[in-house]
Amino acid sequence: MATFHVPETLDEALSLLAELEDTMVYGGGTAIQILLKQGILFTEHFIDISRVPGLREISADSDGVAVGPLVTLRQMETDARVRSVAPLASSTYAEVANPRVRNTASVAGNIAHGDYRLDPPTALVVLDATVQLSSVRGQREVSAREFFVDFQVTEVQHDEMITGIRIPKQPSTAGAFVKYSSLAENDWPCASAAVLAVPGDASGEPTEVRIGLGALAPTTRYLAIDIDPGTTDQDAVDAAIDIANTAIDPIEDIRGSATYKAHLGRVAVEEAVRAVMKELQDA
Ligand SMILES: Cc1cc2nc3c(=O)[nH]c(=O)nc-3n(C[C@H](O)[C@H](O)[C@H](O)COP(=O)(O)OP(=O)(O)OC[C@H]3O[C@@H](n4cnc5c(N)ncnc54)[C@H](O)[C@@H]3O)c2cc1C
């Protein structure tokens, strides 16, 4: 039977993580509860951080938004500061599962879960977010692009806890997230793509299109292509699909074969790139 520890301070939580063997931080519990019910989780110690003060804050400045680990996915969807500073993040969090899950799940639990199908990481990599990791050894910042290491493997070490996510101000409004699910609309995706056009110089002209892929490889993948004012929609789509093809390596499961997911992945990339190119032309 697992023991639940309910620390009252961050120092206490980090000490428990350092001292005990076989621990898991308990965030919203939406992933942990499912694994427990399925009988495939045998962790001895859960560190429930719900009573640690200051972990549910969102703060924004001109450079971006700082998000506490226990901020819910629903807050990311609805908070006016997040919607204004990083609208692509906001609209991507809004696509996760259903309101019941989004009201309970936390931003840190979401990324620490490390599932290759997660939606928010696709936006976090294109927005160049950073993850703050804390332990009794100190604090470190890891780029979201380095955070997702491999299948169910993230940068979080056994004695570490995610204590924040920082999302820089979105460099342009030309962003889009497209997700395809094969079983039900609010089910896990079998392919997703977040795309963002980024100005590379003072002229404000976009020079780069960033692409985050979800559910299409053993972990979230990040890619980018160069564009210039002469790049047509079709040029951008072709270049994005070419580079996406180098990363698409789907895992076959009940939601579809590898071939089916790869096809949907290319459709998602095309749809998101076309939306972004249209936004650039309309701006
Ligand atoms: C029915 C259902 C449908 C879903 N559909 C989708 C979907 O369409 N798209 C999608 O992206 N996701 C989907 N999910 C997954 C959902 O996003 C995750 O379950 C959720 O985000 C996990 O957050 P949590 O706070 O509940 O994590 P928890 O269950 O508390 O923890 C999950 C993992 O994160 C670790 N963890 C938690 N907090 C921290 C921390 N601060 N520091 C370090 N480690 C931590 C835990 O130890 C555990 O390993 C779905 C989940 C359900 C139940």
Rounded Cα distance between 15 and 59, Å, is 27
Coil, helix or strand for 137? coil
- State the Cα torsion 188-24-27-112 to the nearest 10°: -50
pLDDT at 223: 98
Amino acid at 84: S
42-70 pLDDT, tens digit per residue, is 999 999 999 999 999 999 998 999 999 99
**Dihedral sign of CA atoms 114, 118, 122, 123 in order:** negative
- pLDDT confidence band for 182 (50 / 70 / 90): confident
CA of 107 to the centre of ligand 1 (A): 8
- Tell me the two tokens of residue 227: 């564009």
Q: Which domains does the chain have, with CATH numbers?
A: 3-48 (3.30.43), 58-168 (3.30.465.10), 175-282 (3.30.390.50)
**Span 18-32, mean pLDDT?**
97
- Is the pLDDT reported for residue 186 higher than 80? no
Instruction: Please tell me the pTM assigned to this model.
Output: 0.97
pLDDT at 203: 77
Q: Are 175 and 87 in contact (CB under 8 A)?
A: yes
66-85 pLDDT, tens digit per residue, is 999 999 999 999 999 999 99
Q: Are 237 and 271 in contact (CB under 8 A)?
A: no
CA of 30 to the centre of ligand 1 (A): 6
Around ligand 1, the residues with Cβ closer than 6 Å are 24-32, 34, 69, 96-97, 101, 105-106, 108-110, 112-113, 118-120, 156, 161-162, 188-189
Q: Cβ neighbours of residue 151 under 8 Å, at least 6 residues apart?
A: 116, 218, 219, 251
- pLDDT confidence band for 187 (50 / 70 / 90): confident
CA of 209 to the centre of ligand 1 (A): 29
